């Protein structure tokens, strides 16, 4: 199957830091891929580059057969690429419903937007209860839901999630990952960056391990979960 996203020898540097050092990865249509690694490994930099927020020093990014290196961030959203950033990034002074509508800014199909809004409230019932609430007053988990729903309102083919469990209570983490699996089951391609390596690999089809700006391991998720290197570095060793 032809990859939806193909990254070849990507290098990214900023502020004197060589953050990404020639990585290559692929995501097939409908595939959930985890990118795991410790803090400072270059994971967030990778996502920001794929979203067009940072520019690579070298290498190639292709999405659906089209080269993205010179495509601006705002042009990537209508192409079907959406990022849920680390820290959620909700519009704090807007309501939940206004945040979701911001996700559909590039669309003109008003009737379908209304239907998609209803689908988001079905997917995230808690947001339906809080649709008129100012987003900045939501709990961390509710803000994560709002950020994910806002991204989905753009109807992406590739959804990128940066640390969706960060700072959340265990019950909310469980709910967020249930939703991620549900979205993936609908056939959407997902690139998941997540500190909780076990959760990420249990949810994903495949995974990549990133250390100091390079990919050190890759494979099926069950293979990585069983890897001694991954066990000791990210999963607390074997019992």
Tell me the C-alpha distance between 195 and 210, whole Å.
11
pLDDT reported for residue 34: 97
Note the pTM of the prediction, 2 decimals.
0.94
Task: Provide the token pair at 219.
Answer: 């494979």
Block residue for tokens 């999963």: 235
pLDDT reported for residue 239: 44
pLDDT reported for residue 237: 59
Q: Domain locations in the chain?
A: 1-80+158-165+189-239
Residues of the chain with pLDDT under 70: 236-239
Q: What is the pLDDT of residues 17-58, one digit of tens each?
A: 899 999 999 999 999 999 999 988 999 999 999 999 999 999
pLDDT reported for residue 15: 83
Q: What is the pLDDT of residues 80-96, one digit of tens each?
A: 999 999 988 999 999 99
Tell me the C-alpha distance between 81 and 98, whole Å.
21
The CATH number given to 1-80+158-165+189-239 is: 3.40.50.300
- DSSP letters for 69-93: TT--HHHHHHHTEEEE-TT----TT
């Amino acid at each position: 199957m032809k990859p939806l996203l193909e990254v070849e020898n990507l290098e990214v540097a900023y502020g004197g830091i060589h953050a990404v050092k020639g990585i290559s990865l692929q995501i097939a249509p409908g595939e959930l891929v985890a990118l795991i690694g410790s803090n400072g490994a270059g994971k967030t930099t990778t996502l920001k580059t794929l979203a067009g927020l940072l520019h690579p020093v070298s290498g190639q990014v292709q999405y659906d057969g089209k080269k993205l290196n010179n495509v601006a961030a705002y042009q990537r959203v209508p192409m079907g690429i959406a990022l849920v950033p680390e820290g959620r990034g909700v519009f704090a002074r807007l309501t939940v419903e206004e945040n979701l509508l911001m996700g559909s800014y590039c669309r003109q199909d008003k009737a379908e937007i209304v239907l998609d809004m209803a689908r988001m409230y079905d997917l995230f019932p808690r947001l339906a209860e809080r649709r008129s609430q100012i987003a900045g007053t939501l709990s961390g988990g509710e803000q994560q839901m709002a950020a994910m729903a806002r991204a989905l309102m753009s109807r992406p083919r590739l959804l990128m999630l940066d640390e969706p469990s960060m700072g959340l209570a265990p019950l909310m983490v469980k709910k967020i990952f249930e939703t991620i699996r549900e979205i993936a089951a609908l056939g959407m391609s997902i690139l998941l960056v997540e500190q909780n390596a076990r959760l990420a690999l249990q949810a994903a089809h495949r995974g990549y391990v990133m250390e100091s700006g390079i990919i050190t391991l890759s494979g099926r998720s069950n293979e990585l979960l069983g890897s001694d290197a991954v066990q000791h570095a990210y999963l607390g060793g074997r019992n």
